[in-house]
Structure 1
Amino acid sequence: MKRIAVGDIAPDFTLNDNRKRPIHLADYRGKKVLLSWHPLAWTKVCAEQMKALEAHLADFSRLNTVALGMSIDPVPSKNQWAKQLLIAETMLLSDFWPHGGVALTYGLFRDVEGYSERANVLIDASGNVTWVKVYPVHDLPDIDEVLGHCAE
């Protein structure tokens, strides 16, 4: 499947977050949305990536941006992981079933490993993709770079 690119219309989806709440992408029209993909919960780099989203909630809010943590982990796992990491506000979405379906739609699913790329996809208030960056799996995204793109 073709990887999502700048200028594409972001495919809509509904996924449950770590609290079992359905999160519908289209409900955030009028705001920017950051889809921050991490391969697997319970790993060090993924934990740091999601904690950075939580630590910068006020910055995202100031930039009219909703940050969503995305992975193929099931809801119960993401819920326990969020509690361990003290992530209280950031929504961690489960792309568990169909397994990696949204990651596949966005062209970010790694077939061999069975999980998503580590990537950031920024969607503008109209639903258009304005920034995409895929990182080496073991690299932590630079939160200042992410915020910089949200500010544009």
Structure 2
Amino acid sequence: MSEIKIGDKIQDFRLRDHKDKEVNLSDFSSKKVLLSFHPLAWTRVCAEQMNSLEENHELFTKLNTVVFGISVDPIPSKRAWARELGITHIKLLSDFWPHGEVARAYGIFREKEGVSERANIIIDEEQKIIFFKVYPGHELPDIAEIIQLLEK
């Protein structure tokens, strides 16, 4: 499990979203993609993180960017949480089984806790990593930093 780096081609994945639809990362190769990892649904900072993505959905669309919120929570939990938060635009992906497989592949799985780090990864249209940052668990990622990078 090696940490990913800027310039690396991202490893493809296939996960299911909160509506139980399959999402294959390589299907979005004509767009930029923001992979926003959060440790667990139903926690305050994770809710704020997903809400900030949802609130900026139109801007992300204008910036040709697809946004995914990813955690190890199972699909039924993600579905209920999306409903609770009013998430209607972004897709919440379940990295539940094999447990944390995508987070592990990207070097951001926390074995002791069984969750991913809080992290943002942005890939370009060629599926190369152009941004990668891990945040302290209690810290809300700066959405302005993400938007500024995407506007370049």
Is this a same-fold pair by TM over 0.5?
Answer: yes
Note the C-alpha offset of 1:2.
1.0
Which residue identity lines up with residue 121 of structure 2 in the other structure? V
Note the C-alpha offset of 1:55.
0.3
Which residue in the other structure is 2:95 paired with? Answer: 95
Q: Which runs of 5+ in 1 are unaligned?
A: none
Which residue identity lines up with residue 137 of structure 1 in the other structure? G
Structure 1 CA distance, aligned partners of 2:20 and 2:111? 26
**RMSD in angstroms over aligned alpha carbons?**
0.5
Structure 1 CA distance, aligned partners of 2:26 and 2:7? 17
Which residue in the other structure is 2:63 paired with? Answer: 63
Aligned length: 152
Which residue identity lines up with residue 137 of structure 2 in the other structure? V
Deviations 1:6-37 (A, max 9, x none): 01100000100000000000000010000000
Pairing 1:134–2:128 present: no
Query: What SS does structure 2 have at the residue aligned with 1:50?
Result: helix
Which residue identity lines up with residue 108 of structure 1 in the other structure? I
Structural mapping, 1:41-60, within 5 Å: 41-60=41-60
Structure 2 CA distance, aligned partners of 1:75 and 1:39? 15
Note the C-alpha offset of 1:79.
0.3
Pairing 1:105–2:81 present: no
Which residue identity lines up with residue 151 of structure 1 in the other structure? E
Which residue identity lines up with residue 67 of structure 1 in the other structure? V
Structure 2 CA distance, aligned partners of 1:134 and 1:150? 18
Note the C-alpha offset of 1:69.
0.3
Query: What SS does structure 2 have at the residue aligned with 1:10?
Result: coil
Query: What SS does structure 1 have at the residue aligned with 2:66?
Result: strand
Structure 2 CA distance, aligned partners of 1:17 and 1:46? 17
Deviations 1:129-148 (A, max 9, x none): 00001000000001111111
Structure 1 segments of 4 or more deviating over 6 A?
Answer: none
Identity rate of aligned residues, in percent? 53
What TM-score, normalized to structure 2?
A: 0.99
Note the C-alpha offset of 1:83.
0.2
Which residue identity lines up with residue 78 of structure 2 in the other structure? K
Structure 2 CA distance, aligned partners of 1:69 and 1:21? 14
Deviations 1:74-100 (A, max 9, x none): 000000000000001110000000000
Note the C-alpha offset of 1:47.
0.2
What TM-score, normalized to structure 1?
A: 0.99
Structure 2 CA distance, aligned partners of 1:117 and 1:70? 10
Pairing 1:143–2:143 present: yes
Query: What SS does structure 2 have at the residue aligned with 1:52?
Result: helix
Which residue in the other structure is 2:10 paired with? Answer: 10
